[in-house]
Chain A
């Protein structure tokens, strides 16, 4: 049973470029959340997708956008990259958008470096 898979594992981009990160949730999960983990910090919530709609958003600018597909997989897009966007981007899946006591299942992340 595959867990949460993310691609690519590593990515190097130049300031001002755009990037797309991909996530496939754990089998049976229908909700995908994205988190940004800067070096030496805890993960910070970017947004959550359920039924192909953004359901909640953290304190991130509109340069960060996402999408969820009918098969529950998801993409995170970041436009106009800044040096400060360099981080580990984590995808997490769960069952149902309102399962507040359910743990999240995380992928291994995509390491984005902006130069």
Chain B
């Protein structure tokens, strides 16, 4: 069965510092991996995806993610955090012919001024 895990419920980082939000996935074929962000009382916004190719994927708003097959991880990163990056972040996976996305439980990112 496909699944993703976000081991940290909460991540705090100072503005201007690099940030990392962790995600690991279960192994079952070749995964399609996604990151979404959710602001309060809003739907999810797409940040980036990994399908195949380069392990470092660049996305919206300066975010990037590194796919690591040996560690089955897909961590979200940003070199310099902004207060406006504070939000709830979800990692999601889709396998093979499955039509649905399976989401992690989410990580609340707080960037402190």
Contact = CB atoms under 8 A, between A and B. Distances in A.
B50 to A, nearest CB: 9
Contact of B100 (A42, A56, A98): A56
Nearest to B52: A101
Interface residues of A, number: 26
B47 to A, nearest CB: 9
Give the contact-size bracket for chain B: 20 to 34
B71 interface: no
Given A41-B106, A42-B105, A97 B99 contact: yes
A42 B94 CA distance: 15
Task: Give the 5 A-B CB pairs with smallest separation, nearest first.
Answer: A42-B103, A106-B43, A45-B100, A103-B46, A101-B51
Given A48-B100, A100-B96, A100-B99, 13 more contacts: A40-B105, A42-B90, A42-B104, A45-B101, A56-B98, A58-B100, A90-B44, A92-B44, A98-B99, A104-B101, A106-B43, A106-B45, A109-B43
Interface of B: 32, 34, 36, 41-46, 49, 51, 90, 92, 94, 96-106
Interface of A: 4, 33, 40-45, 48, 55-56, 58, 90, 92, 97-98, 100-101, 103-109, 111
